[in-house]
Structure 1
């Protein structure tokens, strides 16, 4: 059970995320660079062209989707991820606990609508809204899911 207001709030967060990501595309060409790399030790996501880094961002981890398990796993519940990149995800869990929103407070969220990517983006949108991030990025994973990263800062490489 979630509060009555939550479905509309989550949908609004998803639309806000799309607008933020459109802005990142316009301002920093996100989604257009031939290569991206993330460094979970440094908390950085970089975009490059022909071996030259063009855009650098600081990230936090939101969570991941798994086609095999057909679910979302919050980053705070994944023991394989570095703790220093989980502060915002833990903030989302606290928000979910305080407001009685199960899908924000429980480790796993099942894909009940048979659209795993949409689930990932919607939950990431909730995190971007709660944590006032600049946007988000999805890195595909081998088994058909994705790792969702939220963008805290972004700039052109110097």
Structure 2
């Protein structure tokens, strides 16, 4: 059994026609991976070239045997390029050992976060805010006749 080393995607130039054919033959996520970009990045390339691509759920419907519609490539407008270069997203650089050590040391200094069992020893401003918040909730509850009030003031 031979194991192939992962290939680094290279810059690829695709025409509108090629891209249109590819996006209707292969799911966007899989095709994007071949180009070394995200599915969202591939959708942006399609938008730039005015290439329609399958809507969400297209491949699931097609696999389930349901009818699907593939959109034709519209005629190219003067403002639309005929081709685009797809540049793969560069790999993230490995974390520097010094940064890893620094992060580990900071986490160690923090130790465990202790959460108090009660809220008796709050700052006066925090205590005032909580009291005011509770008062506003009670008033809103009386107005709407319900226990939960949403941000827009509607009862629930």
Q: TM-score scaled to structure 2, two decimals? A: 0.21
Q: TM-score, length-normalised on structure 1?
A: 0.20
Larger relative contact order, structure 1 or 2 (CA cutoff 8 Å, min sep 6):
1
Higher strand share: 1
Greater C-alpha radius of gyration: 2
